[in-house]
Structure 1
Amino acid sequence: MSVPIDPGLNELAGPARALVRRDQLAAMRGSVLSAMPVNMLLGLASTLVAYRSGHGEVGAAWFAVSTLANFLRIGLCRAPCLGLALTPDTTPAMAAAAAQSIERHLRACIAAALLSGLVWACQPLLCEGYTSAQALFYLVITCGITAGAVTHGTAYARIPLAFILPPLLSVVACLAAVGDFDRNCLVACVLLYLLALTHTAFRSEAGFRESSRLKNEATALARSRAEAHARVSALADEMRRRATHDDLTGILNRGGFIQQAEERLQAAPISLLLLDLDGFKLVNDVYGHKAGDRVLIEVARRISAELPEDSLAARLGGDEFAVLYDPIAAGVPPERLAARLVAAVAQPLDGFDAGRIGVSIGVHSGREPSLTEMLSCADAALYAAKAAGRNYYRMFDTGLRERLQIRRDLERDLSTALAEAALEVWFQPIYAMDAETLVGLEALVRWQHPRLGWIAPPDLVATAATAGLTESLLRFILEQVCAMMQILRGRGLETVRVAMNVSPQEMAQVPVDEIVIERLKSLDLPPAMLEIEITEETALDIGAVLGKLQALSRAGVRVALDDFGIGYSSLSSLRQLRADRIKIDRSFVTGLNASDDKRGLVLAVLGLGRILGLEVVAEGVESDEDLRTLQAMGCPFLQGYHLGRPMTVPVLETTLLSGRIAAA
């Protein structure tokens, strides 16, 4: 069934039109309910006048019918209507049903108003067709109820017009039937009055519709602004949460942790725990990064489950986590919490071998001047814990504080030492199997700190990495190596190769290939005289170094794998790393003559070298017995203190001049 639509609403869109109709229905119901008591009182007054004029029975019957019509209208105004629940966010299907309900209700109200108007059109029966003495009274009553209907029915013109049309036309008919001049003039006035009321009703409805439209638009705008504000607030909250929380695990990230930790730092003595997973890189390499993500999520869950209330847990990045809490308020000493966390993380994970994942923890308790200082102390404890093995925690103590201070002194002084050439590069000879023919030199960096004495090369490399001087250190060593190559070349010893060690940090972080190749080219030095020594640890991140090693190999620079046998190398990595030479670690060489196991291992490496076409160097030749054993095994190249200790450049030049070292 089609729904009639007023022409005045055609310009409105469907939802807006339905909302205006809803407002019209609601206003109409209110106006009818407020007008009904007056209508019934006027009807009672008409009945009483009819009774006094001798028309009591007709008046009573008329009042009864009028009252029934009024109760019908009241009932319609109180009846439930689906359309009154219409809102701007109602679904289209529900909105269409609501609009249909409103139109049906309005049509019912029009019909009820028309019925009530027909009852009032029967008033001439009470005054003999407006010819009795009471005619003036009934005319006044008719004018009153019709004017009141239009006055109160501003929302929907059809309802008041349906009510006023029958009684006014009844008046016109009765007066015209008499036909005298006065009554004809009155007929004209009533018709004019009817036209005026009709015009007023439609104008009032148009004004109501416009007011309703503006109100609904304002309401919709306010709602839209409120929803937009809510969305913006929710988005801002989500952005703040994402800015401070780790997307993968849901716990705090580094920024969020530092922000909240700074706020707690001054409140009470707190404990800081830094956690670093053991074996996580192998999980990524063997099972893939998705499996690694699952491990991180589960580890974060386990850490959070073990923490006391009001603790902070964060993933600082990669597989590193942090915990901050008040041990006094929690009643849990940091040592006990660290032990609990180690045990929790070490529990088997679904889909992984038991014991594959562990955790090392560095713990700092007490006050420090800043959170940065606390993190530095906890990091020193973590480094010591990882050096001690898997599933271990270490408290930051006086000894670690002294070591931390030493490290800071080294970081502070290293840049000055590099700038002032306070570092030295010594060279240790490498011999052929006869232990007399010089075939190479290994460059070894040395630093005698003015206060701390000789610094071990691993500590020097680590200091350069933390101080951001990795590339500077590499360039310094390369300059000394190139200078030695020039010395050898000047003495006709181009066949003697000079080897320089490149740490995994340098290989991963610095463009070693570009630096080395460019420097050799600028000095016009043959690349074959240079050998780059890398450790087996470099093979752990083969993707980051493979391109650099390939570039060096293509340029003619040789690659040697140092400390072979104690790290992570595989047969495939030997080829991937483009190794030309492997150096047997000193732990397999020292005491070789007295150990069958060591002799077996060395023989195996020598056989591997022959099969793969790799040169083999035995490091750590410390005695004549070990030397003779290696020679008997057919080891082609030898290096160690028994043959020659590291020498400064002046000492080495003197040795070369004296002829004490034979060159190949």
Structure 2
Amino acid sequence: MSSLSVPAPAAPAEHLDAAELRSMVQHDQMVSVRQSVRAAIPINAVLTLAALLMAYSGDKLALGLLWALLSALVNVSRAVVCRLPYRRPHEPASDAAAPSARWWRTRGVHWHLRLTSLLGLCSGLVWALVALLCDAYTSPQTLFYLTVVCGITAGSVTYGIAYARVPIMFITPALLSVAGCLLVAGGFDRQMLAVMVFVYLAALIRSAMQSEAAFKRGSLLKNEATVLADRLRQAHEASHAATRELEFRANHDPLTRLFNRDGFAEVARWRLEAAQEHEQCLLMLDLDGFKAINDMFGHGVGDRVLQDVGAWLGRELAPLGAVVGRWGGDEFVVLYDTSTAALSPEDVARLLTQRVAQASALEGGQLGLSVGLCVGRGLCVTDMLAFADEALYSAKRSGGDGFRFFDHGLQQALVVRRDVERDLGLGLDTGGIVLWYQPIFTAGGQLHSFEALLRWLHPRHGWVSPEQVVHAAAATGRARRLLAHVLTQVCEAARRLDAAGLAHLPLAVNVSPREMAHLEVDELVLETLRAHAVSPHRLQIEITEEVALNAENTHGKLARLAAAGVAISIDDFGVGYSSLASLRGEHVRQVKIDRSFISGLDGSRDNQLLVRTILQMARSLGIDAVAEGVERAEELMTLRTLECPLVQGYHLRRPAPLEEIIQQP
């Protein structure tokens, strides 16, 4: 502690509590006083015995016995008091004041010091009675008694350095008795001796007070250092605890207390490196039906379900020694060593999908589980996560509530997806991503409008589907750029149609649910139209029912577009949830009957009934209806019988570049 700057005793450091330090110093005084009293009592007893023997030789045995008995009684009392427990400085008063505690147990150090001082006074009064044994210091034994009294008083000051009041209370009655008797006896020599006793008393008192001051100064320095050391230790422990908590929070999900992405990846990386020769299994889990629970019961219930599922996974997978983490949202991830597991990966996945309904008592019956598995040896955690995620995506596309292993087919799909994501920017820069157009016809065969469709001839994988392009744009943060690219090409196509005398034909653009939810589609559309001097009435935005129903995010955007003159069309009508709700609002001008109702329409009375119902509803609302996916002449004839106003499909015209469409009759 030499590096610490210790303040002067009179002015303790401001950052230390002065009352606390005084209490600690008093405690040190109490300990020292009790040690000195216990050491002095045997000496006191020996000197008492010596005085008793001297009284016997001076024919004062009876008086000596009475005095010795009184001295012994006081010494016993002092010894008992030295053993009494007391309330320590840092002890809560409530503990000391418990019903089972003795009355002295409730007293603090200061009270016990005063009690010790009072008993010191009693002992001093006993030694003041020594004058009775030597006829007021006039008998032949005076020198002996005078020597004993002076010696015991000097010893009390020597031993009692911690608390001056105790030795002062002891020596004062004894020495005053000596000085008083000498003065009363008279005579120059006795009077001078009395004066010396007074001087001796004053010197002892001064010495006692100086000793106490020195003790308190040393005790204060020691306790300041102790307090500082304790606080440094506590700060060190608190810092370590805070560091551990920060590390835990950095690597764990606050809701489920499982590993988060970073924490799981780090632990998984370590385990894979440590067991490269062992086959490992990584499972990516996604809760089916969780969104419905969140929507119906709120995020509070949803969070509780996630907590329950996390705890359930920990219990279920504990025998496997698995690492379990929350990957985000309602996705979880698991890694374990198959060489030490009693169950095969397929059995583990099957049991999890079968038992997930038991994971939570809160609407647990609605929960399902989709699982993607990657099993391999010597793979890095990044690849295993990507492979398991690809398998999970495949399981979800198959309807969910099941599992899928990452195999060769999925590996090829992953290679394609990664290449598409990597090369998407280049495709946009070089114009490789283009638009083809598919005409929409009236029932009488008249050209009504065009639908713009994404096309990309990838240099390695050939034609890439529009869905792959849109997903790649969302995954790489290029969704806005892709939409701007599409709108720009549509505006250029509108000008070419104008030049070809087809200025009356509108163009339709598909907007994905993600784009509608996360992009300012209305601003981007209107800005692009203004920049290319294209009328909003030439553009039609096709959205799915999923987007149309999400009024909170899209209603305002659709309303602004409709107010500017852009027509809104509902795509894939009839296959979403609450399809009728998507038609509410003045901005919807067209619905496209999903191709699943058109395929085989001529041979399906149920589909004919559904299509007729949709057409009647559209007429009642004053909006257009388009039957998409017309592949056969029989389907077209049936639609004409049902008086469907607009049709689209490969039987009528396949998608093609705009130049080919314009050149065809």
Q: TM-score, normalised by structure 2?
A: 0.91
Q: Secondary structure at the match of 2:540?
A: strand
Cα separation, 2, equivalents of 1:495 and 1:90: 93
Q: Give the match for residue 392 of structure 1.
A: 402
Query: Aligned AA for 2:90?
Result: T
For the 8 Å contact 1:385–1:394, the answer to whether it is kept is yes
Return the match for 2:78 from 53, 73, 78. 73
Do the aligned partners of residues 341 and 542 (structure 1) sit closer, same or farther apart at CA in structure 2, a change above 3 Å counting? farther
Using the TM superposition, give the Cα deviation of residue 369 of structure 1 relative to its aligned residue in structure 2, in angstroms.
4.3
Return the match for 2:205 from 195, 198, 205. 198
For the 8 Å contact 1:86–1:98, the answer to whether it is kept is no
For the 8 Å contact 2:96–2:106, the answer to whether it is kept is no
Cα separation, 2, equivalents of 1:349 and 1:77: 64
Cα separation, 2, equivalents of 1:365 and 1:377: 9
Q: Give the match for residue 149 of structure 2.
A: 142
Where does 1:147-162 land on structure 2 (aligned, <5 Å)? 147-162=154-169
Q: Secondary structure at the match of 2:630?
A: coil
Using the TM superposition, give the Cα deviation of residue 155 of structure 1 relative to its aligned residue in structure 2, in angstroms.
2.1
For the 8 Å contact 1:346–1:391, the answer to whether it is kept is no
Q: Give the match for residue 608 of structure 2.
A: 599
Q: Which deviates more, 34-43 or 625-634? A: 625-634
Q: Secondary structure at the match of 1:266?
A: helix
Q: Give the match for residue 658 of structure 2.
A: 649
Residue 344 of structure 2 corresponds to residue 333 of structure 1: yes
Where does 1:242-641 land on structure 2 (aligned, <5 Å)? 242-268=249-275, 269-307=279-317, 308-347=319-358, 349-352=360-363, 354=365, 356-435=366-445, 437-539=446-548, 541-575=550-584, 578-641=587-650
Query: Aligned AA for 1:229?
Result: H
Using the TM superposition, give the Cα deviation of residue 10 of structure 1 relative to its aligned residue in structure 2, in angstroms.
13
Cα separation, 2, equivalents of 1:393 and 1:64: 97
Q: Which deviates more, 452-461 or 604-613? A: 452-461
Using the TM superposition, give the Cα deviation of residue 260 of structure 1 relative to its aligned residue in structure 2, in angstroms.
0.8
Using the TM superposition, give the Cα deviation of residue 9 of structure 1 relative to its aligned residue in structure 2, in angstroms.
11
Cα separation, 1, equivalents of 2:657 and 2:439: 11
Q: Give the match for residue 238 of structure 2.
A: 231
C-alpha root-mean-square deviation of aligned residues, in Å? 2.7
Q: Secondary structure at the match of 2:588?
A: coil
For the 8 Å contact 2:548–2:570, the answer to whether it is kept is no
Query: Aligned AA for 1:563?
Result: D
Q: Give the match for residue 52 of structure 1.
A: 57
Unaligned runs of 5+ in 1: 1-7
Do the aligned partners of residues 68 and 540 (structure 1) sit closer, same or farther apart at CA in structure 2, a change above 3 Å counting? same
Cα separation, 1, equivalents of 2:104 and 2:539: 87
Cα separation, 2, equivalents of 1:10 and 1:324: 62
Q: Give the match for residue 3 of structure 1.
A: none
Cα separation, 2, equivalents of 1:623 and 1:125: 140
Cα separation, 2, equivalents of 1:449 and 1:116: 109
Query: Aligned AA for 2:26?
Result: R
Q: Give the match for residue 214 of structure 1.
A: 221
Q: Which deviates more, 470-479 or 315-324? A: 470-479
Do the aligned partners of residues 144 and 425 (structure 1) sit closer, same or farther apart at CA in structure 2, a change above 3 Å counting? same
Deviations 1:291-319 (A, max 9, x none): 21122112212221210342111111101
Cα separation, 2, equivalents of 1:578 and 1:552: 8
Using the TM superposition, give the Cα deviation of residue 514 of structure 1 relative to its aligned residue in structure 2, in angstroms.
2.1
Q: Give the match for residue 112 of structure 1.
A: 119
Q: Secondary structure at the match of 1:439?
A: strand
For the 8 Å contact 2:541–2:568, the answer to whether it is kept is yes
Using the TM superposition, give the Cα deviation of residue 127 of structure 1 relative to its aligned residue in structure 2, in angstroms.
2.7
For the 8 Å contact 1:261–1:371, the answer to whether it is kept is yes
Query: Aligned AA for 1:290?
Result: G
Percent identity (aligned): 45
Do the aligned partners of residues 154 and 363 (structure 1) sit closer, same or farther apart at CA in structure 2, a change above 3 Å counting? same
Do the aligned partners of residues 447 and 387 (structure 1) sit closer, same or farther apart at CA in structure 2, a change above 3 Å counting? same
Unaligned runs of 5+ in 2: 1-8
Q: Secondary structure at the match of 2:403?
A: strand
Q: Secondary structure at the match of 2:507?
A: strand
Using the TM superposition, give the Cα deviation of residue 266 of structure 1 relative to its aligned residue in structure 2, in angstroms.
1.1
Query: Aligned AA for 1:218?
Result: A
* Equivalent residue pairs, number: 645
Using the TM superposition, give the Cα deviation of residue 91 of structure 1 relative to its aligned residue in structure 2, in angstroms.
6.6
Cα separation, 1, equivalents of 2:359 and 2:619: 43
Q: Give the match for residue 87 of structure 1.
A: 90
Deviations 1:547-575 (A, max 9, x none): 33233222221111111112235322333
For the 8 Å contact 2:309–2:359, the answer to whether it is kept is no
Using the TM superposition, give the Cα deviation of residue 583 of structure 1 relative to its aligned residue in structure 2, in angstroms.
0.3
Residue 34 of structure 2 corresponds to residue 29 of structure 1: yes
Return the match for 2:48 from 43, 48, 57. 43
Using the TM superposition, give the Cα deviation of residue 629 of structure 1 relative to its aligned residue in structure 2, in angstroms.
2.4
Do the aligned partners of residues 109 and 480 (structure 1) sit closer, same or farther apart at CA in structure 2, a change above 3 Å counting? closer
